[in-house]
């Protein structure tokens, strides 16, 4: 199982064009243009996964669908780190049925607009996602810690601006829960 290491930084929607331009100057390539992303989180009726700090997510982004398991977040003051297993799948409806047969049901849904960039920083590659959500606009940076810090510094983002919260928690905190699935 791979360890996902990431941070989010809240940005103003008006900053998106300048961030895109700066990423291009730094040599980032656009892996996926801005498009809508749909997410379904699954849990057991007793909310066992959530209680354990874990998640099962089905994500549809453009023509691609991914099933992801996310483990409990590690205790780290700067970065959000957790085990992650992800696989592409062909048929989201079939996967939803399979998960239902296993006793899981949709417990939370959300959508956002996302664009994905990749950049080589120091000795590693990092992925930068620009996310537009009903609870704010964010730059999400995923990769090795040193590379995350280096890129963040290039944008003037300091560790005190790093957000480790996930989108579900942000929706709940904002009191903007999406409608029941």
> Which domains occur in the chain, in start order?
2-174 (2.40.320.10)
Q: How far is CA 119 from the centre of its chain?
A: 17
CB 140 within 8 A of CB 131: yes
pLDDT band at 5 (very low <50, low <70, confident <90, very high): very high
pLDDT confidence bin for 181, thresholds 50/70/90: very low
Tens digits of residue pLDDT in 100-154: 999 999 999 999 999 999 998 877 789 999 999 999 999 999 999 999 999 999 9
Handedness of CA 75, 171, 157, 7 (dihedral sign): positive
pLDDT at 25 over 50: yes
For 14, which DSSP code? Answer: G
- Of 4-13, 53-62, 116-125, 134-143, the range with the lowest mean pLDDT is 116-125
pLDDT in tens, 77-105: 899 999 999 999 999 999 999 999 999 99
Looking at the DSSP assignment, which residues form a beta bridge with residue 40? Answer: 58, 109
């Amino acid at each position: 199982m791979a360890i996902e290491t990431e941070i989010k930084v809240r940005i103003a929607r008006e900053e998106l064009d300048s961030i895109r331009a700066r990423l291009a100057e730094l040599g980032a390539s656009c892996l996926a243009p801005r498009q809508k992303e749909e997410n379904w989180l699954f849990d057991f009726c007793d909310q066992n996964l959530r209680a354990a700090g874990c998640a099962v997510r089905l994500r549809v982004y453009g023509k691609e669908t991914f099933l992801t398991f996310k483990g409990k977040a590690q205790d780290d003051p700067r970065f959000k780190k957790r085990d992650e297993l992800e696989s592409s799948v062909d048929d989201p409806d079939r996967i939803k049925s399979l998960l239902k047969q296993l006793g899981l049901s949709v417990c939370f849904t959300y959508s956002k607009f996302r664009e994905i960039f990749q950049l080589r920083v120091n000795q590693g590659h990092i992925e930068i996602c620009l996310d537009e959500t009903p609870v704010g606009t964010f730059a999400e940076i995923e990769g090795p810690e040193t590379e995350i810090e280096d890129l963040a510094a290039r944008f003037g983002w300091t560790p005190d601006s790093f957000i480790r919260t996930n989108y579900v928690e942000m929706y709940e905190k904002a009191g903007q829960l999406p409608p029941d699935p």
